Copies of this chain bind each other. A is one copy, B any other.
């Protein structure tokens, strides 16, 4: 268009890792990880499949990048809140993110080589517990308990064959009708008297279980503070203020509090 002597320049829109990952997430959100193929991704980016490999080492690397991008979407625990409400907010955000990207629950590799967003997120969560008065060991307990619950809930929510309350009622009615008569009475009761109740929505369970866990952690913390009953091999200080990491060089935990 601009140059009349040559054929149309056809301004090829250039690819980069971010655009690739973003497009891949759109595909996976819509059709799950199994819908994400390099050829399909190439189509969406107006590019041949192989061109993607200029920006991504392989499909695993791509999925890893997607997982890290997802972690970047989670609201970090706020420094101005107490540990409980900070963790509560980020947990709610975490669950929303996992509900938005259901495929993310099945990505295994986030533990093997986590990306920067993942590392930052974990560091902040751990820091929130430490600054809230948790010992290193109790921080590990808390971190494990909370995140196990969130991941598991997201997985269960994802595996349900319905989303909206209307779908739920319709699906539950069908499943109830298909249930062998009298063989699973408690399951039938729960379905009939709870799931089929107007306004039932499985997602509402999330906060119930989350608060169960958080209250339990609070109790654990208070017990710890009243009497200093630390298990034997915990060498860490309870308060992190002046604590130093046993690294090559000594590092104050507060060093990167302002990200």
Q: How far is the CA of A215 from the CA of B147 in the complex (A)?
A: 18
CB distance from A112 to the nearest CB of B (A): 5
Interface residues of chain A: helix, strand, loop or mixed (majority): helix
Q: How far is the CA of A208 from the CA of B139 in the complex (A)?
A: 12
Do the beta carbons of A216 and B212 come within 8 Å of each other? yes
Q: Mark A123-146, 1 if CB is under 8 A from B, else 0.
A: 110110010000011011101110
B136, B153, B215: the one contacting A189 at CB < 8 Å is B136
Do the beta carbons of A145 and B253 come within 8 Å of each other? no
Question: Closest 4 interchain pairs by CB?
Answer: A152-B152, A148-B152, A111-B159, A145-B209
Q: How far is the CA of A248 from the CA of B181 in the complex (A)?
A: 9
Q: How far is the CA of A197 from the CA of B109 in the complex (A)?
A: 24
A37: interface (CB < 8 Å) = no
Q: How far is the CA of A6 from the CA of B143 in the complex (A)?
A: 69
A155 nearest CB neighbor, chain B only: B151
B120, B147, B158, B182: the one contacting A255 at CB < 8 Å is B182
A190: interface (CB < 8 Å) = yes
Q: How far is the CA of A112 from the CA of B209 in the complex (A)?
A: 23
Q: Mark A92-127, 1 if CB is under 8 A from B, else 0.
A: 000000000000011011111000000110111011
Q: How far is the CA of A93 from the CA of B71 in the complex (A)?
A: 31
Q: How far is the CA of A152 from the CA of B155 in the complex (A)?
A: 8
Do the beta carbons of B152 and A153 come within 8 Å of each other? yes
CB distance from A234 to the nearest CB of B (A): 8
CB distance from A190 to the nearest CB of B (A): 5
Q: How far is the CA of A117 from the CA of B213 in the complex (A)?
A: 29
